[in-house]
Every structure is written in structure tokens, then in C-alpha cells.
Amino acid sequence: MRTLIIYYSETGATEVISQVLAHYLNADLVQIHDMKPRSGFKNKLSASFDAFRENKTEIYPPTIDLTNYDLVYIGTPVWASKPTPSIITIIDSLNLQGKDVILFATMSNKGGSSTIERMDEKVRARGGRVIESFTVKTKDKGSNQLIRDAESIIEILDLKIYK
């Protein structure tokens, strides 16, 4: 069973979690890049609005061929208690028919469960089967703590059984 991790990361926290997962689960990684500027106060405000409204955005890569993968992880930061526009855009472009999917969200404080619920709805609408999900709080945590958190999640949820 081949595994792919698809993620978007603005501050680097989701990227750290994704890299740890890829390392321990022998998975391939694809980072989604939002082509719209998202840094700076004005752009962050616009980003939160786009997330709340579930506005699509231009992304790279625009879609991903999942033919060779049985298991797909999809990870996003939480923006306005929603998945990021780039993750909404990529999910809507994927053929998830017959794929097992594990969802994860990184968050400063709250909104993770509503983000996972919305991603779950979108994945199921695309034919995917969500088999697990988790959230990671990132506030005031450096890379080392995020790595330890990801390692703990792999053990607690026994994610290695899916590879």
C-alpha cells in the first residue's frame, strides 16, 4: 500500500507534522502552494475571509494523480475554523473514489474539529473514505515539540498499521 501526504503550510507547523508522518510511515509528500499572497496583516485578513467563505484559490500543483496510492493524508492549518482555501481547492480537484483518507489539522488554539468535519464532508463527496483524523495544537511550540507531538500521534493512533 502506497501512502501520500498532501498538505498546505503557511507558518511551517503543518509542514513539520507532514514531514514526521512521511518519515515514520514511508509516505510520499506533496506540498500545496497557494499562489495568492497570504503573509502580512492585510493578506492574513483576506485569507481568513477566503477560508470562512470557502473561496477557491489558484494552487500549485493544480491537481494530483492518486492512481498509485491507496492511502492519502490531507493536512491543513485552521483558518477561521475552516480548512485553508488551498486545501479546499485541492480536495475539490481530486478523484478520491475508493481511497482511504486520514485528515489532520494544525491549530493555534481552536477550530480543529470543525475543520476536520468540513474536510470529511468534502472528501466523502469526492468518493473517499475517511478512516482516521487528528488535530495538533501548535501555539507556542517549536519544531522539536511538534516533532514529539507527531511521533506521539503516530503511536497513540497506531498509524503504522495503515501502511
Per domain, the residue ranges of the chain are 3-162
C-alpha cell belonging to residue 133: 483524523
User: Tens of pLDDT along 28-82?
Assistant: 999 999 888 777 777 677 777 677 777 788 899 999 999 999 999 999 999 888 9
pLDDT of residue 48: 74
Is the predicted pLDDT of residue 2 greater than 90, yes or no? Answer: yes
Q: Please say if the pLDDT value at position 133 is more than 80.
A: yes
The model's confidence at residue 162, banded by pLDDT at 50, 70 and 90, is: confident
Residues 6+ apart with CB under 8 A from 18: 5, 7, 9, 29, 31, 73, 75
Q: Look at the domain 3-162 and name its fold.
A: Rossmann fold (3.40.50)
Which of 37-51, 60-74, 128-142, 143-157 is predicted with the least confidence, judged by mean pLDDT? 37-51
pLDDT for position 6: 98
Q: What pLDDT, on a 0 to 100 scale, did the predictor assign at position 43?
A: 67
Handedness of CA 19, 3, 132, 80 (dihedral sign): positive
Look at residue 129 in the predicted model and tell me its pLDDT: 97
More confident call, 152 vs 55: 152
